[in-house]
Amino acid sequence: MNPDQLADQLYAIVTRVVDARRAEQGSTETAPLLSRADIRLERPKNRDHGDWASNAAMRLAKPLGVNPRELAQEIALESERLDGVAQAEVAGPGFINFRLDAAAAGALAKTIVDAGEEYGRNVTQAGRTINLEFVSANPTGPLHIGHTRWAALGDSIARVLKASGAELASEYYINDAGAQMDKFGDSVLAAAKGEPTPEGGYPGQYIADLAAAVLEREPDLLSLPDEDALATARELAYDLQLAEIRQSLKDFNVEFDVFFSERTLHAKNPQTGTSLVDDAVGRLRKQGHVFDADDAVWVRTTDFGDDKDRVIRRSNGVYTYFAADAAYYLSKSDRGFEHKIYLLGADHHGYVHRLRALAGAAGDDPNRDIEVLIGQLVSVNGARLSKRAGNIIELTDLQKWLGTDALRYSLGRSPADSPLTLDPELLRSHSNDNPVYYVQYAHARTRSVARNAEAAGVTRSAFAPELLTHETESALLGALQEFPRIVAMAAELREPHRVARYIEEVAGLYHKWYDNCRVIPLGEEPITDVHRTRLWLNDATGQVIRNGLGLLGVSAPERM
């Protein structure tokens, strides 16, 4: 019996008890006091208190006008008649603690093995169409430590949302329009000519490397007219740098569904003669939040909590960056995404009210249709600045130094809104103090047990869950039941670190179980159904850890 099944049956009992109480009171009220969604089971912190606990009686007591402990006793008495429930006890002011019998609890092991990669997946986000934008670094240089945290967290958020049933597209917004691209092109062209970096340009060895690659592709670059040379250097270098960014992300196990070019927002439609930015102004005006003042066009974003109204087109006719933001937001709606999530860096707090106000001006609900998450800074003790870029710590350098798994896991196991300092000595160590090693080692141990069991003749040819009676088995099974709920919670709260902390708990419980319960008989001891059933539990644990690591973009080694 899993927690959802128990909650279903508990809801049926609660409904009958409420109806009976109302009948005794002569009430004609028929509206339910609790919905099925209100029946939530929690794991007691102290396992001696049982497998699951419910506060349903305490929530019902006041509207029914009865003593909560008395009501809890009535619900507990009926619950003990359920198949699979060994005991239901009342604790404190009216909590009900449920203890499952060994067979009902142990049946989960087979459920997990049979489900395989699907175990943990749920439908709590089903019906939601979400656009999740993250990283979105300018294509004018390599990815660095400032992008690394959102790359890891954004990808993991995407994974838990998809695992919870959301229809989601992860998106990278390419800032490939505007003055920074011209400065980038100027810098590459100057390097190709052997000239110093222009004022305000981009320094670093990577610019010289790009210039060499551009010259290789276009040997006649320096003989072109100045404007043509600049455009050629800019476009070729842009293609090369964007390709490097995409490869860096792929190497970091981050795959984007969409790379969206800002240039498409400014491109004129040959049929209408207008761009998406042009159209955005008109669309916002129709919503009633655009006004003209001082020869400029404004959006009244203060209607939605912004600290000031925003200019969308200056008096000289030039659009502001806010105009591109508006066109981009509207394009997401046009592509069918009802909910938009933006993941922004620590220096982007000022964008929160601006983007929410933009959603309101576009006719959306800022409290429902848009979400802006801000990530805090991350640092690595002893990290060296990139030799290529000169003033940054590159993502590729961090991967080579710490390893992709260690870096992704460490970035994924802490809340995004907390500053983070990584300890490279710890992350490179093969010890239980290293969280990623601890979890991966637990998975590798489950695979080792399975291989050794096969060699010893222990198979999953029998399954007798009533034999899983050791206290470490009860604790481990109780934790494994939680995985779907943890995934759903991580998706709802956009907090994939909950998955990391959970699989660390599972790893610890597995190691304790491994120390106490043998899958392979000792010496001449015969193979029995308890050994075969424990192999199911071993494999179920490995599956859960593997699924959890997958949601974090981290590998699950077969051997360590």
Q: What is the DSSP string of 150-199?
A: HHHHHHHHHHHHHHTT-EEEEEEEE--SSHHHHHHHHHHHHHHHTPPPPT
Q: Are 40 and 58 in contact (CB under 8 A)?
A: no
Q: Is residue 79 part of a domain?
A: yes
Q: Are residues 57 and 193 in the same domain?
A: no
Q: Are residues 134 and 280 in the same domain?
A: yes
- Structure-token pair, residue 473: 């088995």
Q: Are residues 192 and 233 in the same domain?
A: yes
Q: Is residue 412 part of a domain?
A: no
Q: Decide which of 218, 251, 284 is a domain's last residue.
A: 251
pLDDT tens, 408-466? 999 999 998 888 899 999 999 999 999 999 999 999 999 999 999 999 999 999 999 99
Per DSSP, the chain holds a count of helices (H) and strands (E) of 20, 13
Q: Is residue 119 part of a domain?
A: no
d(CA 177, CA 111): 52
* Residue 37 per-residue DSSP state: G
Which residues lie closer than 8 Å to 379 by C-beta, 6 or more apart?
145, 420, 421, 422
- Structure-token pair, residue 108: 């989960």
Q: Are residues 159 and 289 in the same domain?
A: yes
Q: In the prediction, which pLDDT does 235 show?
A: 97
Q: Coil, strand or helix: which one is 97?
A: strand
Q: What is the pTM of this model?
A: 0.90
Q: In the prediction, which pLDDT does 49 show?
A: 82
Q: In the prediction, which pLDDT does 387 show?
A: 65
Q: Are residues 290 and 368 in the same domain?
A: yes
Q: Decide which of 82, 100, 118 is a domain's last residue.
A: 100
Q: Are residues 273 and 371 in the same domain?
A: yes
**In which domain, by residue range, is 215 found?**
179-251
Q: In the prediction, which pLDDT does 386 show?
A: 67
Q: Is residue 400 part of a domain?
A: no
CATH code for the domain of 136: 3.40.50.620
Q: Is residue 442 part of a domain?
A: yes
d(CA 387, CA 203): 11
CATH code for the domain of 63: 3.30.1360.70
Q: Are 533 and 464 in contact (CB under 8 A)?
A: yes
Q: Are residues 262 and 359 in the same domain?
A: yes
H-state helical runs in 335-470: 351-361, 395-402, 404-412, 424-427, 435-456
Q: Decide which of 195, 222, 251 is a domain's last residue.
A: 251
Q: Are residues 154 and 277 in the same domain?
A: yes
Q: Give how many domains the chain has, as a whole number.
A: 4
Q: Are residues 219 and 168 in the same domain?
A: no
Q: In the prediction, which pLDDT does 508 show?
A: 98
Q: Is residue 359 part of a domain?
A: yes
Q: Are residues 220 and 361 in the same domain?
A: no
- Structure-token pair, residue 470: 């050791």
Segments in the chain below pLDDT 70 = 385-387, 389
d(CA 22, CA 24): 5
d(CA 483, CA 480): 6
CATH code for the domain of 493: 1.10.730.10
Q: Is residue 420 part of a domain?
A: no
Q: Are residues 325 and 454 in the same domain?
A: no
Q: Is residue 388 part of a domain?
A: no
Q: Are residues 310 and 163 in the same domain?
A: yes
